[in-house]
Amino acid sequence: MGDIRLDKYLADMGIGSRSEVKAFIRKGAVTVNENVVRSPDCKIAPESDEVCYNHKRVNYLKYEYYMFHKPSGCVSATVDQRHKTVLDYIDTRRKDLFPVGRLDCDTEGLLPITNDGELAHALLSPRRHVKKTYYARVRGVVTDADVEAFLRGLDIGDEKAALPAELTVLSSGDISEITVTLTEGRYHQVKRMFEAVGKDVVYLKRISMGGVCLDEALRPGSYRRLTEEELAKLRKQE
Ligand code: URA
């Protein structure tokens, strides 16, 4: 990790906004290797320098990784004029976090959040075919013929047919419950695949991505850090 400015170091770690931390530094509330430093542009080597704010050690995390349970009504973006964005739910001052991929505004479920662009890029690359599993409630009886059609790959109106997807019927009736596993991530893909077999998705939730399952203890709108094990699973997709 390269050197970074002291004010950025502290702001990234949530001590305050960039202007707030500059004021803390000038007041003498910050030490670097036990010496008070009053210059916000002092260069810090995160691996070796010891930075303290109000006598408490502040360690630098270059990357942060969260599992977010996206609620309906939230957009998979970092800014939006009309809707809440994922960042409205994450209690951090870090400015560089973003969602890994997109879920529709009305879709719930697993959405990783990070500032690690390389990992995000790998997880979203169409060439990697990272598996994503969704639970859905669908209006109408989902049949074995639908399961076969999903397995063959469906024409959903794009230049290329959707790749084969594994559809499992959990219950079939006026409203059927299913899970479906995709290896690509096209716009409205699950909804469009069901439209192609004449059915409507009435509820959609992503329950896993790249082998990492949504933690059911997380209520919609809440989040936690990814565990090392979960992160290792995501990195395996790189
Ligand atoms: N497929 C959809 O139709 N919507 C999503 O949000 C994700 C997959």
Atom of ligand 1 nearest to the CA of 102: 6
CATH 3.40.640.10 correct for 4-57: no
Structure tokens at 111: 């959405």
Q: Residue 209: which of 139, 137, 107 has the closest Cα?
A: 107
Do 132-209 and 65-126+212-235 fall under one CATH topology? yes
Distance, in Å, from the CA atom of 235 to the CA atom of 36, rounded to the nearest integer, reads 39
Q: What is the reported pLDDT for 224? A: 97
Helix, strand, or coil here: 83? coil
Tell me the H-state helices in 47-159: 117-124, 144-152
In whole angstroms, what is the distance from residue 202 CA to residue 107 CA?
10
The counts of H helices and E strands in the chain are 6, 17
Cβ neighbour number for residue 209 with a 10 Å cutoff:
25
User: Strand 74-75 and strand 84-85: pairing?
Assistant: parallel
- 132-209, what's its fold? Alpha-Beta Plaits (3.30.70)
Per-residue pLDDT of the chain (238 residues; tens, 9 = 90+): 889 999 999 998 989 989 999 999 999 999 999 999 999 999 999 999 999 999 999 999 989 999 999 999 999 999 999 999 999 999 877 778 999 999 999 999 999 999 999 999 999 999 999 999 999 999 999 999 999 999 999 999 999 999 999 999 999 999 999 999 999 999 999 999 999 999 999 999 999 999 999 999 999 999 999 999 999 999 998 6
Query: Can you spell out the DSSP letters for 6-59?
Result: HHHHHHHTTSS-HHHHHHHHHHT-EEETTEE---TT-EE-TTT--EEETTEE--
Instruction: Write down the pLDDT at residue 29.
Output: 98
With a 6 A CB cut-off, is 74 part of the ligand 1 pocket? no
* pLDDT at residue number 199: 97
Q: What is the pLDDT of residue 238?
A: 62
Give the C-alpha separation, 154 to 184, whole Å: 13
Q: Does 190 contact ligand 1 (Cβ within 6 A)? A: yes
Domain residue ranges of the chain, discontinuous segments joined by +: 4-57, 65-126+212-235, 132-209
Residue to substitute in 72, 100, 107 for testing ligand 1 pocket (most ligand atoms within 8 angstroms of CB):
107
Q: Closest Cα partner for 232 from 211, 214, 216, 213? A: 211
The CATH number of the domain covering residues in 65-126+212-235: 3.30.70.580
What is residue 91's predicted lDDT score, i.e. its pLDDT?
A: 87
Q: How many whole angstroms from 101 Cα to the centroid of ligand 1?
A: 11
Question: Is 200 among the residues known to form the active site?
Answer: no
- Residue whose C-alpha is closest to residue 25's, from 60, 50, 45, 53: 53
From the CB of 104, is ligand 1 less than 6 Å away? yes
